Amino acid sequence: MLLLPGAPDGQCTAVTRALSAASALCRVEPVGRWFEAFIKRRSRNVSASFQELEEKKELSEESEDEELQLEEFPMLKTLDPKDWKNQDHYAVLGLGHVRYRATQKQIKAAHKAMVLKHHPDKRKAAGEPIAEGENDYFTCITKAYEMLSDPVKRRAFNSIDPTFDNSVPSKSEAKDSFFEVFSPVFERNSRWSSKKNVPKLGDMHSSFEDVDAFYSFWYNFDSWREFSYLDEEEKEKAECRDERRWIEKQNRAARAQRKKEEMNRIRTLVDNAYSCDPRIKKFKEEEKAKKEAEKKAKMEAKRKEQEAKEKQRQAELEAARLAKEKEEEEVRQQALLAKKEKEIQKKAIKKERQKLRTSCKNWNYFSDNEAECVKMMEEVEKLCDRLELASLQCLNETLTSTSKEGGKAAVEKQIEEVNEQIRKEKEEDEARMRQASKSTEKSTGGGGGGGKNWSEDDLQLLIKAVNLFPAGTNSRWEVIANYMNLHSTSGTKRTAKDVIGKAKSLQKLDPHQKDDINKKAFDKFKKEHGVVPQSDSAAPSERFEGPCTDSTPWTTEEQKLLEQALKTYPVNTPERWEKIAAAVPGRSKKDCMKRYKELVEMVKAKKAAQEQVMNAAKARK
């Protein structure tokens, strides 16, 4: 609310018109030179007007001019006007303290002051003697202003500034004070850079990025310094175009050489600084430590990986070992169960056989005649050998539940069935033997006496020799022939050719015929070694009292297990054969001992035959 002052005493206040509402003014923008002043004030963050700034600037320049005019220059009188090119133009104009930083206004003011003070007319009016022509030192002032007022000529003179220190510190100078020695040198040479914002050398705490940027800048340093001021010849003085071109060529070559020397100087400066910089050494050590740490971490990771793989492999091996042990244990348990079942069956068969013999014996073998009793006894033993457990149990139950006549009839009926079965087996064996003889005669084809005179014993001996001397034996067929000639009872001498022909014919035989020949050879082997087979012609007392041997042939797997057990348990092992029998499922201690003796005899026979062949070969030589 707008408040108005009150009326003086004795007067009253009257309202003649209501106040109007406040209105917003339009936006006003400066133009022309006022706009320029506004922009400068805003950029410089000042509130003074452009005119005030210009006035302050002019006043400062006038004060500088006054200072320059007050200085005395006694060295001017010593200058040689003819040698103006080798003079210091800044010193001549009194700007030696600012030099290349001097502005054009300062140069102009300095020249003005010099003219006012040292012009020949001024000095002549003051009574000073003046030299004629260009021999006066005022010519040096004129040349200095001429050089510094022209930007191109001034740049050429600045490039060869006589007061500039071109020296480069050596490595030994900066051994203990690197930053104090090299920092001013880089500051001094930064004036030649074509690029602005030259990076500083920094200190010991500078980061790797700053140091890398600093040396990258100086290794790629772009200098504007040129040496045209030092040209020995001026092309304007040339008399013709060819001479001018020759002068230009000589000057370009000299400038290029000086430019090359300047860049070598800068490069030497940077190289010396880089080699002496303690930060570079620190960074290299940190990088080396970092690489060592990475290498160590990598090796540690590799070691852990190898350990993990080794643990996994050990776990897999342990799992495989446990699985194998479990499998072996299962096989062993199955073998034990099979062995127990087999023993149980053997005991049951033995019990039933004894029961049958006892029943028949109680009834006096169903006859009072002694001859008939002996014959019936043989038949009963035949039943015990041929009948299986179920048949024996059924027969014993019949004998237990019937009378003597009924038992006799049951026994006689069983005897007839067994005899009929034996008869059929004999007929089949004879038929196979005849067939084998016929095929042998056809295969030999009348090849001499050695091809036809093959008895059953010779065939069995040949099969035994072929198994005893396998393929790969040195002079195998000669060894087999000598072995047969040594052990044969027929007296027929066999040659290697006869043995090969007979072996080929036997390979073509029917598998049943081979099994028969092998079975007969096995039976003959047991007879030769004193083992009584359970045949029909054996006496009852011998069967009953003799040992119960298992005539089952040894398989390849059982043979391997026996050989491994013999290696595992040497001769000095206590209870050796019990452990060997436990390692071969389905075989008893006696079976293992018997097989071991057979193997020993076979090895001895094989060695004897080989020695005989070798002796015969030596005798022929």
Interval 244-290: pLDDT, tens = 788 788 888 888 888 888 889 889 889 988 888 888 888 899 899 99
The pLDDT of 375-394, averaged and rounded, is 82
Higher pLDDT, 420 or 78: 420
Per-residue pLDDT at 301: 93
Q: How confident is the model at residue 8 (pLDDT cuts 50, 70, 90)?
A: low
Q: For residue 305, is pLDDT > 90?
A: yes
What Rg do the C-alpha atoms of the chain give, in angstroms?
67
Higher pLDDT, 484 or 106: 106
What percent of the chain has pLDDT above 90? Answer: 8
Per-residue pLDDT at 297: 93
Per-residue pLDDT at 538: 36
156-211: per-residue pLDDT in tens?
Answer: 888 888 888 888 888 887 777 888 888 888 888 888 888 888 888 888 888 888 88
Strand partners, 223: 193
Q: How confident is the model at residue 295 (pLDDT cuts 50, 70, 90)?
A: very high
206-246: per-residue pLDDT in tens?
Answer: 888 888 999 899 889 888 888 777 777 666 666 788 877 88
Q: Which of 173-187, 440-454, 529-543 has the highest mean pLDDT?
A: 173-187
Report helix, strand and coil shares of the chain as percent, to nearest 5. 70, 0, 30
Per-residue pLDDT at 551: 54
The pLDDT of 427-446, averaged and rounded, is 70
Give the burial string for 452-491 (b: 16+ CB within 10 Å, else e): eebeeebbbbbbbbbebbeeebebbbbbbbbbbbeebeee
What is the sign, positive or negative, of the torsion defined by CA atoms of 524, 530, 533, 538? positive
Phi-psi map region of 32: left, alpha, beta (phi>0 left; psi -120 to 50 alpha): left
Three-class DSSP category at 304: helix
Strand partners, 193: 223
- Which residue is it, tokens 């057990």? 565
Decide: 569 and 576 in contact? Cβ < 8 Å.
Answer: yes
User: Can you read off the two tokens belonging to residue 140?
Assistant: 């040096």
- Which residue is it, tokens 């095929």? 439
- Inter-CA distances, 357 with 70, 351, 378, 393, 445, Å: 162, 10, 11, 13, 53
Domain 76-278 adopts which CATH fold?
Answer: Helix Hairpins (1.10.287)
Decide: 569 and 579 in contact? Cβ < 8 Å.
Answer: yes
DSSP secondary structure letter of residue 7: P
Per-residue pLDDT at 166: 82
Per-residue pLDDT at 65: 46
> Could you tell me the pTM of the whole model?
0.41
517-532: per-residue pLDDT in tens?
Answer: 666 666 665 555 544 4
In a 13 Å sphere around the CA of 314, the CA atoms on its Cβ side amount to 6
How many Å apart are CA 593 and CA 590, to the nearest integer? 5
Q: How confident is the model at residue 322 (pLDDT cuts 50, 70, 90)?
A: very high
Per-residue pLDDT at 403: 82
Q: How confident is the model at residue 448 (pLDDT cuts 50, 70, 90)?
A: very low
Domain 456-508, CATH 1.20.1260 — does that match? Answer: no
